[in-house]
Amino acid sequence: MFDIAIIGAGPGGYTAADEAARRGKSVVLFERNLLGGTCLNRGCVPTKALLRSSKAYVEAINGNEYGIASSGVQLDFSAMHARKTKIVTSLRDGLTKLMKKDKVKLVEGEAQIVSANDASCTIVCGNMEYEARETVIATGSVPKSIPIPGIELPGVLTSDDILEGEGKDLSSLIIIGGGVIGVECAEIYTALGRQVTILEAMERILPPFDKEIAQRINMHLKKSNVKIETAARVAEITQQDDILCVRYCNKKGDEQQICARGVLIATGRTAETTGLFANNIHAKLERGALVCDDDGRSSLPHVWAIGDVRAGTTQLAHVAMAQARNVIRVICHEEQLMNEQLIPSCVYTSPEVASIGITEAEAKERGLLIRTAKVVTGSNAKCLIEGGDSGYLKLIAAKDNGRILGAQLVCPRATDLIGELTVAIAQDMTAAQLAAVIHPHPTVNELIAEAALQLI
Ligand code: NAD
């Protein structure tokens, strides 16, 4: 009998395994594919590696902007993928070592819960049975499909396919969905000189982000030659020789057709619970995701869920890791550590995007009295040194006591800067407290100090 069984070894699963093992628990960790899950193998890490390579390519071509005359710059997509694979493999090797050091029993294969009662759970994997007092489900999510004719055609890809190296020879790509995956893939492909079109169903790309951020990234992508159609209703994909055509209705209601060598479906991800439970087990699900209480308890005794598979969870690796730390603490009768309410969001375009807390529009909707400060990148030495498209940092504070409530950033290193602002909000800091801290010069972080100063 194991103390804790964990199904799925993505960021949620391996973090839970490490936290549990460090508390002296015996742990069995099931994984049907690769250690590291979507984030490491088909998500966050490989995308950012490819984005880095495409940025290096753009910088090499535009070397004259930095005083470097370059010619004959060649793109080697296979070498880009090889670099990405090397990074992923090195991180995966590190995880393998960590699990070994933690004495976690790693079982390769598809796990199924066959019984769950007040004392334990029985899990079958291959032809073996495992029993555990507590079971944590961390099976993540899979790309969501859309119910249109032609979705099954060869050349219609998901982000999994793209990150595994499919589609590298495509000279043109239509991306259905202008969310985070759509935008980041558009950035990679357009940087490499491919023709990219985004078809987004909503009124703007990156719908959950602040409108001004979406407009900035819209402008940036258009400047990089990406065509963007918002409020587009996609109807059908057809094949004409070796070309795929997408029929859709545009904003005005006119029927349109565009064609490209490939189509990427980036319309979100859906919780993965397929085959997870034997027929006699009935966990409460909401659109395939496990319904849990605030501690992560599912409707089954001693069965918990973390990450993308838990209903209502923001599907981000850092949220899965936070939930993993909390669930293991609850199982071990400890206080929760992580604040799950405050979630930073990042998009790895150039310039990068990051957001935390409330936006100005949300504050208005909620009737909150606020003060805002906006600092543009053109006034910051490090941003100008870094080069690239212009951006800004916006800070939102409560009008009465100056407490920081939110921040939106479009600037170099925004995805790193957001950490400082997340700490400020989590610690109820005021603009005056933030402004009182010496920020090194020249750094992009000075944007934060500058905005905070404007608020006092
Ligand atoms: P998403 O929910 O961010 O975006 C999906 C987009 O597709 C939305 O804008 C939606 O309006 C649009 N859409 C849905 N149906 C459509 C249709 N029929 N036609 C046109 N557009 C349609 O999902 P995603 O971009 O696929 O990413 C999946 C998950 O992975 C998200 O939760 C995301 O946060 C996460 N992710 C995060 C990062 C990051 O943090 N940088 C990067 C990649 C993915």
Distance, CA 178 to ligand 1 centroid (Å)?
7
Alpha carbon of 35 to ligand 1 centroid (Å): 24
pLDDT surpasses 90 at 166: no
Per-residue pLDDT tens over the stretch 240-294: 998 999 999 999 999 999 999 999 999 999 999 999 999 999 999 999 999 999 9
The catalytic residue positions are: 441
Tens digit of each residue's pLDDT (9 = 90 or more) over 434-443:
999 999 999 9
Give 235's pLDDT tier (boundaries 50, 70, 90): very high
**Ligand 1 and 298: CB distance under 6 A:** no
Ligand 1 atom with the smallest distance to the CA of 143 is 26
- Distance in angstroms (rounded) separating the CA atoms of residues 209 and 397: 18
Instruction: Measure 177 CA to ligand 1 centroid, in angstroms.
Output: 6
> Does the structure show a pLDDT above 90 at 324?
yes
Atom of ligand 1 nearest to the CA of 199: 20
Rounded to an integer, the average pLDDT of 95-120 is 96
Banded model confidence at residue 167, pLDDT cuts 50, 70, 90:
confident
Mean pLDDT, range 32-54, rounded to an integer: 96
Distance CA 166, CA 282 (A): 38
d(CA 307, CA 79): 32
Q: Where are the alpha helices (DSSP H) in 62-195?
A: 77-101, 159-163, 180-191
Is the pLDDT at 344 greater than 90? The verdict is: yes
Q: CA angle 229-47-350, nearest 5°?
A: 60
The average pLDDT across 82-87 equals 97
Ligand 1 pocket, residue 36 CB under 6 Å: no
pLDDT band for position 165 (50/70/90)? Answer: confident
Distances (CA, A) of 51 to 54, 95, 408: 5, 23, 21
User: Which atom in ligand 1 lies closest to the alpha carbon of residue 146?
Assistant: 18
* pLDDT of residue 325 exceeding 90: yes
State the average pLDDT for the chain. Answer: 96
The amino acid that residue 69 corresponds to is A
- Cβ of 305 closer than 6 Å to ligand 1, yes or no, is no
pLDDT at residue 164 tops 90: no
- Alpha carbons 210 and 217: distance in angstroms, whole number: 11
Share of residues in the chain with pLDDT > 70 (%) = 100
C-alpha distances in angstroms, 345 versus 28, 219, 281, 357, 425? 31, 20, 35, 10, 14
Q: Tell me, what's the pLDDT at 163?
A: 87
For 292-303, the pLDDT digits (tens) are 999 999 999 999
Ligand 1 atom 28, closest CA: 268
Element spanning 142, H or E? strand 141-143
Whole-number pLDDT of residue 431: 98
What is the per-residue burial (b if ≥16 Cβ within 10 Å, else e) of 405-429? bbbbbbbbbbbebbebbbebbeeeb
pLDDT digits 0-9 by tens, 109-157: 999 999 999 889 999 999 999 999 999 999 999 999 999 999 999 999 9
Ligand 1 contact, 201 CB (< 6 A)? yes
**The token pair that represents 136 in the structure block:** 């944590």
| pLDDT, position 47 | 96
Q: What is the value of pTM for the model shown?
A: 0.96
163 lines ligand 1 (CB under 6 A): no
Q: Is 157 left (phi over 0), alpha (psi -120 to 50) or beta?
A: beta
Q: Is the CB of 237 under 6 A from ligand 1?
A: no
Q: Cα of 208 to ligand 1 centre, how many Å?
A: 10
289, 27, 292, 30: which is closest to 134 by C-alpha? 27
The residue-averaged pLDDT of 335-349 equals: 97
Note the pLDDT of residue 320. 98
Q: Which two tokens stand for residue 173?
A: 């790509």
Report the alpha-carbon distance of residue 246 to residue 256 in Å, rounded: 8
CA distance 139 to 31: 9
At residue 222 the predicted structure's pLDDT band, cuts being 50, 70 and 90, is: very high
Residue 169 has pLDDT above 90, yes or no: no
